[in-house]
Chains A and B, each alone.
Chain A
Amino acid sequence: DAGVIQSPRHEVTEMGQEVTLRCKPISGHNSLFWYRQTMMRGLELLIYFNNNVPIDDSGMPEDRFSAKMPNASFSTLKIQPSEPRDSAVYFCASSFVPGGTNEKLFFGSGTQLSVL
C-alpha cells in the first residue's frame, strides 16, 4: 500500500488566493482527519470524517476553511481567501475505526503551506 498520499508537498501562494490541499487515504480506512501543525500551537485537529461524512469540524478555525470528502478515496481542504497566519504544515491522516475508538493513525507527508 502506498500509504496516505497528500498533494502538493509544498504550496506558496499570495494572501487572498484560494488554496486547495488534497488527500488520498489508505484503501479500506473509514476515517480521515485533517491536522495543522505549527511551532506555536503544535498539532491541531481541524476536521474528522467517518465513512465520508464530516463528524466534527469544530477545529476549523474560520469560515475561510472548508473540507470535503466526496468518496472514500479522496478529500480536499480548501482555504479561501488565504492569509499569512494560515502558513503551516497540513497533515491528512486516515485510520480504520471499529466501534468508534481510534486505534492508530497513518499520516501523509504533509503539505507545507506558505502564504505571503
Chain B
Amino acid sequence: SQQGEEDPQALSIQEGENATMNCSYKTSINNLQWYRQNSGRGLVHLILIRSNEREKHSGRLRVTLDTSKKSSSLLITASRAADTASYFCATDRGAGSYQLTFGKGTKLSVIP
C-alpha cells in the first residue's frame, strides 16, 4: 500500500491563486519530501522537511508537517502557468531508511 497519499488527485486554479496539496502517510518518518514532475520528465526535488520541523519555506513554496496527524501540506503561492505539473510527496520509514515511497500525486493545472 502507498505510504504517502496525496489529496486532491487533481486541482485546477487560475494564475495568481494559491494552490494547496495535502499528503497523508501511515508510519513514522524521519523526513518528508515533495517533488514535482512536468509532463514527460523525471521528478525534481522541491523541498524536504524533517520530522522535528513544523513548517518550512522555499521561495513561493510553504510546507507544513503535522506528525501527530501524519500529514503534510504543500502551498504554492501566487501560482503561475509554469507551475502546472504533478506534485508528489515522498516519505521514508524512519532514521536510517534509504527507501523513499511516493504517493500517486496531485495533478495541478494553472490556467493563464
Interface residues of A, count at CB 8 A: 26
Whether B98 pairs with A97 at a CB distance below 8 angstroms is: yes
In the assembled complex, how far is the CB of residue B18 from the closest CB belonging to chain A, in whole angstroms?
A: 25
Residue from A31, A55, A103, A105 within 8 A of B43 (CB atoms): A105
In the assembled complex, how far is the CB of residue A31 from the closest CB belonging to chain B, in whole angstroms?
A: 7
0 or 1 for each of A32-55: is its CB under 8 Å from B? (1 = yes) = 010100000011010010100001
Interface residues of B, count at CB 8 A: 25
Q: How far is the CA of A103 from the CA of B29 in the complex (A)?
A: 12
Closest to A97 in B: B98
Q: At the interface, yes or no: B45 with Cβ under 8 Å from chain A? A: yes
Q: Chain A residues with Cβ under 8 A from B90's Cβ?
A: 105
Whether B99 pairs with A101 at a CB distance below 8 angstroms is: no
Residue from A35, A99, A106 within 8 A of B96 (CB atoms): A99
Q: How far is the CA of A13 from the CA of B24 in the complex (A)?
A: 38
In the assembled complex, how far is the CB of residue A102 from the closest CB belonging to chain B, in whole angstroms?
A: 5
Closest to B46 in A: A104
Q: How far is the CA of A86 from the CA of B102 in the complex (A)?
A: 20
Residue from A43, A56, A104 within 8 A of B102 (CB atoms): A43
Q: How far is the CA of A1 from the CA of B111 in the complex (A)?
A: 33
Q: Chain B residues with Cβ under 8 A from A102's Cβ?
A: 92, 97-100
Name the residue among B43, B95, B104 with the largest chain A CB count within 10 angstroms: B43
Q: At the interface, yes or no: A25 with Cβ under 8 Å from chain B? A: no
